[in-house]
Amino acid sequence: MPEPDGLVVAESAVVLKGLQISALRQRLDGRNDVRERRIVSGIVPQSQSVIECLARYLLRRAGFHVESQVNVPGLGHLDLMVDGRLGIETDGAAYHMDKASFEEDRRRWNVTTRRGIPTLVVSYQLLRDHPQEFIAMVKETLNRLTAAA
């Protein structure tokens, strides 16, 4: 199975409380388990979605420092923070189609703007079908933030 798929499956198992990270680590102590240990090291138990997991994987693979579920006063948690300067919100249509979710998304985006946290909002389709475009968008945004500083 491709590495990002393995991470999604393993992280989902941990997040849904079906599997302990310690149990995974104990099973992966052989010389031939290097790839699997790398996958397990990428698991974030606080992750809230497959989309977040995939975005984090792609960003880390591209060399970015990525924090998950970053607390922002007045907002709650931002899905991801890249290099301490750029927020990433991962949105799936299944969870953002009703009026209450729509209004909550706008409130959250306004909080990040008011707090001075530029934030990109990305979809599963973008991450799955156009991962290079996603990484290019993040690089471009970070470069513009650096140039504006």
86-91 and 66-72: which strand pairing? unpaired
Please check whether residues 66 and 108 belong to one and the same domain: yes
Domain ranges, residue 7? 1-45
Please check whether residues 27 and 13 belong to one and the same domain: yes
Please tell me the total count of domains within the chain: 2
Q: Which CATH number belongs to the domain containing residue 76 in this structure? A: 3.40.960.10
Please check whether residues 78 and 109 belong to one and the same domain: yes
pLDDT digits (tens, 9 = 90+) for 90-138: 987 665 567 888 888 888 889 999 999 999 999 999 999 999 999 999 9
Please check whether residues 64 and 19 belong to one and the same domain: no
Which one of 11, 28, 45 terminates a domain? 45
pLDDT digits (tens, 9 = 90+) for 13-52: 998 877 888 888 888 877 778 888 888 888 988 888 999 9
The pTM score is: 0.86
Please check whether residues 67 and 82 belong to one and the same domain: yes
